[in-house]
Chains A and B, each alone.
Chain A
Amino acid sequence: MTSTPGSARAMVETTSPSPERLARFDAGERVLHWINASLFAVMMGTAAALYVGPISAAVGRREVVKTIHVWTGLALPVPVLFTFVTRRWGAGFRADVRRFNRWTADDRRWLRTWGRDSRVRSGKFNAGQKLNAAFTLGAIVVMLVTGSIMRWPRHFPLAWRTGATFVHDWIFLALAVTITGHVLYAANDPDAMRAMARGWIPRPWARRHAPAWEEEATGNVPGPR
């Protein structure tokens, strides 16, 4: 097995089960996704129990809920970092992080028209997915820091605590919106959602939603549309 992630990626993609299936997420990415999804579910559930009055009233046990929330939050970056640094297991993840980071002229046009411009030829991820990925990573970083200030205020300048609570609260609301959106988009696109379970996606899906990627993954030039 070659050690450069780019060619590892190409190898995975050309060994698809059949030409009608394109490998989209490798095992490392799928395992990471579902671990993250579980941890996020725990975080959002305990957050709601700490934050939303009626839910707090029904759940109570503030100390226990807080402890679960804090330790789950501290655990959250661990699988991400582990996957990122493991050589073969993390190859697909690293390649996709690079894709998320890089924006093309098509991505900018996608964002201006919110995907309605049919001339936009998205790659493996469209600009909305890229933006969501970057926002979620930024949110994890900010939540980790502000959450630590809230949990261990004595180790930080005390004036920061109210500000940290303020930031943590608003990012929580924003995450509640983006995660709900993420789940709804997935529920409305069974092929895309199944790709996160079985790893591959039907080629027509790729042609429609990610034409530049389909071309790249199969070496085909696009036919008439």
Chain B
Amino acid sequence: MARPGKSETLVGRRVVLGMAGAGALGVLFGAKVQDRLARWLAPAEAADPTGLIDLLPAAGRFRFYSVVGFLPHRSAAAYRLSVAGLVDKPLTFTLADLQAMPATHLVKDFQCVTGWRVPEVAWTGVTLASVLDAAGVQSGATAVSFASFDGAYTESLSLDQARRPDVLVAYGMEGKAVSSQHGGPVRLYVAPMYGYKSCKWLESIHVTDRVVPGYWEHQGYDVDAWIGKSNGRDDKPVA
């Protein structure tokens, strides 16, 4: 057995080496292939009632990340958003309060720092700037911190970043209420930055005199998380 006979070929070795080669090509060109596949799969996915296509890696949909051991949930009725810190009058918003304010609609991509991107997501909410203005930001304030009702997640923005028109306190997504999985009933959507800045299950906004790094930033991710200009990545910016 041990001697390779005349008609024997070392196919096993070829398979292993072939996979290593294909894997290397995949690492080098996989991003492009994934983009093509996502566009190609999009119509089938939209028409797929089972949701199974979403399980394919190329499907270009959201992946669920939570840093705690449960799916944080709060009903629309019980939801409260507090605004405190260096403000003239600390406020608490109900979901109805937010919905009574002038709404902003954005259709923009969601880009994760791990590489996946969901194209053209429809977001509805109020600008973070309008929420801050309602409470009145005091002089000396330079930054804003966010906390999630998952009890663990935190994020932050400088005041200039927080006042951008493409930074939303979002309560609608793809024409529906933001689901618990996507961080509802209310989450942040920071369009120009990587997804980890878009704090899910938003519970409180604290105006501060300095930027306090958030959950992932303690683990080495950039505080100024501009898409394509941070974390060593060159993704297309979300403008």
The distance in angstroms between the C-alpha atoms of A103 and B31, with both chains bound, is 35
Shortest C-beta distance, A212 to chain B (Å), equals 10
Chain-B contact segment, one of A14-22, A167-175, A201-209: A167-175
User: Does residue A3 face the partner (Cβ distance < 8 Å to B)?
Assistant: no
| Contact of B100 with A by CB under 8 A | no
The segment from B16-24, B164-172, B202-210 found at the interface with A is B16-24
In the complex, the chain B residue whose C-beta lies closest to that of A57 is B71
> Complex: how many Å from CA A41 to CA B234?
36
Contact present for A56 and B64 (CB under 8 Å): yes
- Point out the residue from A9, A53, A167 that lies within 8 Å of B64, measured CB to CB: A53
Q: Which B residue sits closest to A153, measured CB to CB? A: B232
B2 lies within 8 A of A95 (CB): yes
Measured in the bound complex, the distance between the Cα atoms of B5 and A145 in whole Å is 34
* B12 lies within 8 A of chain A by Cβ: yes
Q: Is B77 an interface residue (CB 8 A)?
A: no
Verify A160–B67 contact, CB threshold 8 A.
Answer: no
Contacts of B5 in A (CB 8 A): 104
B10 in contact with A102 (CB, 8 Å): yes
Q: Tell me if A51 counts as interface (CB < 8 A to partner B).
A: yes
A160, B66: Cβ atoms closer than 8 Å = no
With A and B bound together, what is the CA distance between A170 and B57 in angstroms? 7
Cα A95 to Cα B2 with chains together (Å): 8
The one of A95, A130, A154, A163 that contacts B30, using a Cβ cutoff of 8 Å? A163
Interface residues on B, range: 35 or more
A40 to chain B, nearest CB (A): 17
Give Cα A161 to B194, complex, Å.
15
A162 lies within 8 A of B11 (CB)? no
Chain B hits for A75, CB < 8 A: none
A60 contacts which of B12, B18, B70, B115 (Cβ < 8 Å)?
B70
Query: Does B68 belong to the interface (CB within 8 Å)?
Result: yes
In the complex, chain B residues whose CB is within 8 Å of the CB of A197: none
Q: Does B63 contact A (CB under 8 A)?
A: yes
A169, B38: Cα distance in complex, Å: 14
| Residue-wise interface mask of A (154-189) relative to B, using a CB-CB cutoff of 8 A (1 in contact, 0 not) | 100011111111110111110000000000000000
Instruction: Contact check, A51 vs B71: say whether CB atoms are below 8 A apart.
Output: no
Contact A102 B8 (CB under 8 A): yes
Flag whether A149 is at the interface (Cβ < 8 A). Answer: yes
**Which of chain B's residues has its CB closest to A9's CB?**
B1
Interface residues on A, range: 35 or more
Chain B: CB-nearest residue to A176: B55
> In residues 2-57 of chain A, which contact B (Cβ within 8 Å)?
5-6, 9, 51-53, 56-57
Q: Is B46 an interface residue (CB 8 A)?
A: no
Indicate if B44 sits at the interface (CB-CB under 8 A): no
Q: B47 contacts which chain A residues (CB < 8 A)?
A: none
B34 and A166: CB pair below 8 A?
Answer: yes
Chain B 114-151 against A: per-residue CB contact (8 Å), 1 yes, 0 no?
11100000000000000000000000000000000000
User: Is B45 part of the contact surface with A, judged by Cβ < 8 Å?
Assistant: no
Q: Are A142 and B19 in contact (CB under 8 A)?
A: yes
Specify which chain A residues have a CB less than 8 angstroms from the CB of B78 in the assembled complex: none
Give min CB distance, B53 to chain A, whole Å: 12
Residue A216 CB within 8 A of the other chain: yes
Q: Tell me if B2 and A166 are in contact (CB < 8 A).
A: no
A139 within 8 A of B: yes
Chain A residues packing against B (C-beta within 8 Å): 5-6, 9, 51-53, 56-63, 95, 98-105, 107, 123, 130-131, 133-135, 137-139, 141-142, 145-146, 149-150, 153-154, 158-167, 169-173, 216
| Interface pairs A-B: 9 shortest CB-CB | A138-B19, A169-B57, A163-B30, A166-B30, A162-B115, A101-B12, A142-B23, A134-B15, A167-B26
17 more A-B contacts (CB under 8 A) besides A102-B8, A154-B232? A53-B62, A56-B65, A56-B66, A61-B66, A95-B1, A98-B1, A101-B11, A102-B11, A103-B12, A107-B11, A138-B15, A153-B232, A161-B115, A169-B57, A170-B26, A170-B57, A172-B57
Binding site for A on B (CB under 8 A): 1-2, 4-5, 7-13, 15-20, 22-23, 26-31, 33-34, 54-58, 62-71, 114-116, 181, 232-234
What would be 11 A-B contacts, judged by CB atoms less than 8 Å apart? Answer: A53-B54, A56-B65, A63-B67, A95-B1, A105-B7, A149-B27, A163-B28, A164-B30, A165-B30, A166-B34, A173-B55
